[in-house]
Amino acid sequence: SSSSSALLRVVGEEEQARLLRRLHHNAMARDKASKLEANNFVHRQKAIDDMKMDSRMVKEEMRASHADRVMRWTHKLSTNPLAVDLWAEDQMKYEMNRAMDKAAKQRKYINMKQTHQAHCAILDRASSEPDELELLRAEKRRLVQNTKRLKAMRDVEKSNARMAQVFQSKQATELERQQKQLVRAFSSPGL
């Protein structure tokens, strides 16, 4: 039992040494791997930063190049008649024409309304005021009627005067005749 425990101790010591070596070797490998990983990480980050910087530089160069190209072509095409936005220009003209049509319709409506109001005012004034021409015509009709009446009355007076004269002359003639008859009757011997 003591030899087996000594054997275990020897085997155990050998195994322990082997385990320690393995642990030491693993620790060294891990340390080396972590240093290598740290080194790779630094190189990777530098490469990523360099790529990002290159990408930024390329994009900046492309933007500057594009802006330069746009500026050059804008300058070259500034005198081109096709550079104008024809749709916007046509739309603006259309809107102006619509506005002018609307203004013309509004002016026409206002003129029509004013004409109608003036016509109504004339008719109102004509109906509210007596018509002078009609008054003059009525006055003339009255004058003509009065003139006719006066003429008729004069004619009646003349006729009456003539009749009175005829009657007087008849009376005078009759009176004369009667007087002559009386004179004859008194002058006749038979009385």
Per-residue pLDDT tens listing for the chain (191 residues): 555 565 556 567 888 888 888 999 999 999 999 999 999 999 999 999 999 999 999 999 999 999 999 999 888 888 877 777 778 888 999 999 999 999 999 999 999 999 999 999 888 877 776 677 788 888 999 999 999 999 888 888 888 888 878 888 888 888 888 888 888 777 766 65
**How many Å apart are CA 72 and CA 82, to the nearest integer?**
17
The two most distant CA atoms of the chain are separated, in Å, by 246
- Does the pTM surpass 0.75? The reply is no
- pLDDT value of position 112: 95
pLDDT of residue 5: 60
Q: And the tokens for 63?
A: 């933007």
